[in-house]
Protein backbone atom coordinates (compact mmCIF):
# COMPACT_ATOMS: atom_id res chain seq x y z
CA UNK A 1 0.00 0.00 0.00
CA UNK A 2 2.89 2.35 0.77
CA UNK A 3 4.29 1.82 -2.73
CA UNK A 4 1.00 2.85 -4.33
CA UNK A 5 0.83 5.97 -2.15
CA UNK A 6 4.37 6.98 -3.08
CA UNK A 7 3.63 6.34 -6.76
CA UNK A 8 0.48 8.49 -6.57
CA UNK A 9 2.32 11.35 -4.86
CA UNK A 10 5.13 11.24 -7.44
CA UNK A 11 2.60 11.21 -10.29
CA UNK A 12 0.73 14.20 -8.85
CA UNK A 13 3.97 16.15 -8.39
CA UNK A 14 5.06 15.34 -11.94
CA UNK A 15 1.75 16.51 -13.39
CA UNK A 16 1.80 19.69 -11.28
CA UNK A 17 5.37 20.47 -12.37
CA UNK A 18 4.49 19.86 -16.01
CA UNK A 19 1.45 22.14 -15.82
CA UNK A 20 3.49 24.86 -14.14
CA UNK A 21 6.24 24.74 -16.77
CA UNK A 22 3.68 24.66 -19.57
CA UNK A 23 1.95 27.76 -18.20
CA UNK A 24 5.25 29.71 -18.31
CA UNK A 25 6.20 28.62 -21.82
CA UNK A 26 5.91 31.50 -24.27
CA UNK A 27 5.08 34.04 -21.56
CA UNK A 28 6.81 37.42 -21.79
CA UNK A 29 8.57 38.44 -18.59
CA UNK A 30 10.13 41.82 -17.93
CA UNK A 31 13.85 41.80 -17.15
CA UNK A 32 15.62 43.95 -14.58
CA UNK A 33 19.10 45.00 -15.60
CA UNK A 34 21.90 45.94 -13.25
CA UNK A 35 24.80 48.14 -14.32
CA UNK A 36 27.34 45.37 -13.80
CA UNK A 37 25.31 42.96 -15.94
CA UNK A 38 24.92 45.53 -18.69
CA UNK A 39 28.65 46.32 -18.66
CA UNK A 40 29.55 42.64 -18.99
CA UNK A 41 26.96 41.86 -21.67
CA UNK A 42 27.50 44.85 -23.97
CA UNK A 43 30.77 43.70 -25.60
CA UNK A 44 29.51 40.11 -25.84
CA UNK A 45 26.37 41.24 -27.63
CA UNK A 46 28.34 43.44 -30.02
CA UNK A 47 30.71 40.56 -30.82
CA UNK A 48 27.69 38.34 -31.52
CA UNK A 49 26.34 40.80 -34.09
CA UNK A 50 23.93 43.00 -32.15
CA UNK A 51 23.70 46.63 -33.21
CA UNK A 52 22.43 49.78 -31.55
CA UNK A 53 20.56 51.17 -34.55
CA UNK A 54 17.25 49.47 -33.66
CA UNK A 55 15.61 47.17 -31.16
CA UNK A 56 16.75 43.56 -31.41
CA UNK A 57 14.88 40.31 -31.02
CA UNK A 58 17.63 37.94 -29.89
CA UNK A 59 16.80 34.26 -29.83
CA UNK A 60 19.01 31.33 -29.02
CA UNK A 61 18.57 28.14 -30.97
CA UNK A 62 20.41 25.00 -32.05
CA UNK A 63 20.27 22.56 -34.93
CA UNK A 64 18.88 19.91 -32.62
CA UNK A 65 16.08 22.17 -31.24
CA UNK A 66 12.70 21.37 -32.76
CA UNK A 67 10.66 24.28 -31.31
CA UNK A 68 13.32 26.77 -32.47
CA UNK A 69 11.89 26.59 -36.00
CA UNK A 70 8.55 27.79 -34.64
CA UNK A 71 10.29 30.74 -32.95
CA UNK A 72 11.91 31.66 -36.28
CA UNK A 73 8.49 31.74 -37.94
CA UNK A 74 6.93 33.86 -35.18
CA UNK A 75 9.83 36.33 -35.13
CA UNK A 76 9.78 36.63 -38.93
CA UNK A 77 6.00 37.14 -38.91
CA UNK A 78 6.25 39.94 -36.34
CA UNK A 79 9.27 41.66 -37.87
CA UNK A 80 7.83 41.59 -41.41
CA UNK A 81 5.39 44.27 -40.22
CA UNK A 82 8.02 46.41 -38.46
CA UNK A 83 11.01 48.46 -39.49
CA UNK A 84 12.03 49.45 -35.95
CA UNK A 85 13.44 46.06 -34.92
CA UNK A 86 15.74 43.39 -36.25
CA UNK A 87 16.34 39.70 -35.60
CA UNK A 88 19.50 38.14 -34.25
CA UNK A 89 19.48 34.36 -34.01
CA UNK A 90 22.42 32.78 -32.22
CA UNK A 91 23.36 29.14 -32.02
CA UNK A 92 23.81 28.29 -28.35
CA UNK A 93 26.66 25.92 -29.20
CA UNK A 94 28.55 28.74 -30.98
CA UNK A 95 27.92 31.35 -28.23
CA UNK A 96 28.03 29.47 -24.90
CA UNK A 97 29.56 32.34 -22.91
CA UNK A 98 26.85 34.81 -23.94
CA UNK A 99 24.17 32.19 -23.28
CA UNK A 100 25.60 31.59 -19.80
CA UNK A 101 25.81 35.32 -19.04
CA UNK A 102 22.18 35.75 -20.10
CA UNK A 103 21.10 32.76 -18.00
CA UNK A 104 19.82 30.65 -20.90
CA UNK A 105 19.03 27.24 -19.45
CA UNK A 106 16.67 25.88 -22.09
CA UNK A 107 15.83 26.34 -25.75
CA UNK A 108 14.23 28.23 -27.27
CA UNK A 109 14.87 31.41 -25.29
CA UNK A 110 14.16 34.86 -26.75
CA UNK A 111 15.15 38.32 -25.53
CA UNK A 112 13.91 41.73 -26.61
CA UNK A 113 16.75 44.24 -26.43
CA UNK A 114 16.36 48.01 -26.72
CA UNK A 115 18.70 50.25 -28.74
CA UNK A 116 21.19 50.38 -25.85
CA UNK A 117 21.29 46.55 -25.87
CA UNK A 118 19.61 46.30 -22.49
CA UNK A 119 17.29 43.37 -22.00
CA UNK A 120 13.69 44.46 -21.69
CA UNK A 121 11.86 41.14 -22.03
CA UNK A 122 12.62 37.45 -21.82
CA UNK A 123 10.55 34.67 -23.31
CA UNK A 124 11.17 31.00 -22.59
CA UNK A 125 9.57 28.69 -25.11
CA UNK A 126 7.74 29.66 -28.28
CA UNK A 127 6.13 33.10 -27.97
CA UNK A 128 2.87 34.01 -29.61
CA UNK A 129 3.04 36.72 -32.25
CA UNK A 130 0.84 38.95 -30.09
CA UNK A 131 3.11 38.53 -27.06
CA UNK A 132 6.21 39.38 -29.07
CA UNK A 133 4.50 42.41 -30.63
CA UNK A 134 3.49 43.68 -27.20
CA UNK A 135 7.05 43.28 -25.91
CA UNK A 136 8.34 45.32 -28.86
CA UNK A 137 5.57 47.92 -28.49
CA UNK A 138 6.59 48.44 -24.85
CA UNK A 139 9.99 49.82 -25.91
Q: Which residues contact 67 (CB under 8 A, 6 or more apart)?
A: 107, 108, 125, 126
- Which of 49, 50, 48 is closest to 99 using CA atoms? 48
C-alpha span between 85 and 93 (Å, rounded) = 25
pLDDT digits (tens, 9 = 90+) for 1-57: 788 888 878 888 888 776 666 655 666 777 777 666 677 899 999 999 999 999 999
* Phi and psi angles of residue 131, each rounded to the nearest 5 degrees, phi first: -65, -40
- Which of 82, 86, 99, 78 is closest to 52 using CA atoms? 86
Q: How much is the pTM?
A: 0.79
Amino acid sequence: MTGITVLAVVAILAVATGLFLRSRSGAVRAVRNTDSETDALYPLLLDAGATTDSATVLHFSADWCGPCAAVRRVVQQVLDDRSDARELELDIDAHPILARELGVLSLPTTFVLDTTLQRRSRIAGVPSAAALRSALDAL
